[in-house]
């Protein structure tokens, strides 16, 4: 089973959406994944996702209200197979924790996902759309890889 960690700054806006969408697309594909999320900052530790993240997911009938924020740790670099980060700053911070077995990649290949925290509802919709497309692509890739190995 593949273990996937989704990372942003505070683990209350982007990464909870990403975690929820990876789970959703894996469920559709029948792919068994262990999925979690974390933030490079521990500022919001143990908090639920931002209400605006929850709302944009609920508009698509996906509930992420049970998630709780936590900080990225050195242990995560070996516990997960893949760490998907939201932007180049998250990438640098994750890599600065040290070396591990995890592949650390941008969630949206070649692009930063903007942090919608200080913006309005439209920013959360934009993030949802970006992450939904990318999550579907990641899950499809992992599914093809799994089928090729069986």
Is residue 83 within 8 A of residue 77, CB to CB? The reply is yes
Report helix angle 14-29 to 51-58, nearest 10.
30
Catalytic residue among 8, 23, 76, 132: 8
Is position 8 annotated as part of the catalytic site? yes
> Torsion angle, CA of 82/28/132/112, rounded to 10 degrees?
10
> Which is catalytic among the residues 13, 14, 52, 87?
14
Going through 9-146 in order, the beta strands assigned E by DSSP cover 33-39, 82-85, 103-106
Beta carbons within 10 angstroms of residue 75's beta carbon:
10
Please state the φ and ψ torsions of residue 32, each to the nearest 5 degrees.
Answer: -85, 115
Transcribe 53-78 into DSSP letters.
Answer: HHHHHHTTT---TT----B--TTHHH
Active site residue 13: no
Catalytic one of 36, 50, 87, 115:
115
Query: Which positions are annotated as active-site residues?
Result: 8, 14, 115
């Amino acid at each position: 089973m593949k273990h996937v960690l989704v990372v942003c700054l505070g683990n209350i806006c982007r990464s909870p959406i990403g975690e929820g969408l990876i789970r959703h697309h894996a469920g559709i594909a029948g792919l068994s994944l262990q999925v979690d999320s974390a933030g490079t900052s521990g500022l919001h530790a143990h908090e639920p996702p931002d209400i605006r993240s929850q709302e944009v997911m609920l508009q698509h009938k996906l509930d992420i209200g049970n998630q709780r924020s936590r900080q990225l740790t050195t242990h995560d670099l070996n516990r997960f197979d893949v760490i998907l980060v939201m932007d180049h700053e998250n990438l640098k911070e994750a890599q600065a924790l040290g070396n591990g077995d995890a592949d650390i990649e941008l969630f949206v290949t070649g692009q930063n996902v903007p942090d919608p925290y200080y913006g309005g509802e439209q920013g959360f919709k934009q993030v949802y759309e970006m992450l939904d497309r990318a999550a579907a692509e990641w899950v499809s890739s992992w599914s093809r890889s799994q089928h090729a190995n069986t």
